């Protein structure tokens, strides 16, 4: 069964079932992996790894990560990380919110992060501070 994926905004890119990608992948919108990926993922967007997805990574960094397939490597999700039933994850994770379903094979350590980093408001620009506050508000709206 596929992950229920609702697109909030932006484009969706799919690495298909027969796709094999090796290297570094950077994106800002939404990516769905149904094939094989080896390397590093850096994103401000959302990443979905479907049941058929198989990822061996140095690291994954994204706003949100949803996993139904297999991931070997460390991950950081600034907003949330979800592990769906039947997924297999080996590696350490760092996230603000975590959801682990029944029947998940997870081996690693978890570090919870705060939604907004502790910052001196006088040391960041107004734009950066407003962005941090709006991201926190979005996270609280989801809960």
pLDDT tens by residue, 38-96: 999 999 999 999 999 999 999 999 999 999 999 999 999 999 999 999 999 999 999 99
How many CB atoms within 10 Å of residue 74? 17
- Surface-to-core class of residue 95, CB atoms within 10 Å of its CB (0-12 exposed, 13-18 middle, 19+ buried): buried
Q: State pTM to two decimals.
A: 0.76
For residue 1, give both structure tokens.
């069964």
Query: Average pLDDT for residues 22-34, to the nearest whole number?
Result: 94
């Amino acid at each position: 069964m596929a992950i229920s994926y609702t697109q909030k905004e932006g484009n969706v890119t799919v690495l298909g079932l027969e796709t094999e990608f090796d290297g570094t992948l950077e994106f800002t919108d939404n990516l769905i992996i149904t094939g094989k990926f080896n390397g590093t993922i850096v994103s401000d967007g959302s990443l979905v790894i479907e049941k058929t997805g198989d990822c061996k990574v140095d690291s994954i960094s994204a706003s949100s990560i949803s996993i139904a397939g297999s991931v070997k490597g460390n991950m950081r999700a600034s907003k949330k990380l979800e592990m769906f039933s039947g997924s297999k994850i080996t590696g350490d994770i760092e996230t603000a919110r975590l959801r682990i379903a029944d029947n998940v094979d997870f081996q690693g350590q978890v570090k919870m992060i705060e939604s907004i980093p502790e910052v001196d408001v006088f040391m960041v620009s107004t734009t950066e501070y407003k962005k941090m506050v709006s991201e926190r508000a979005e996270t609280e709206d989801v809960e």
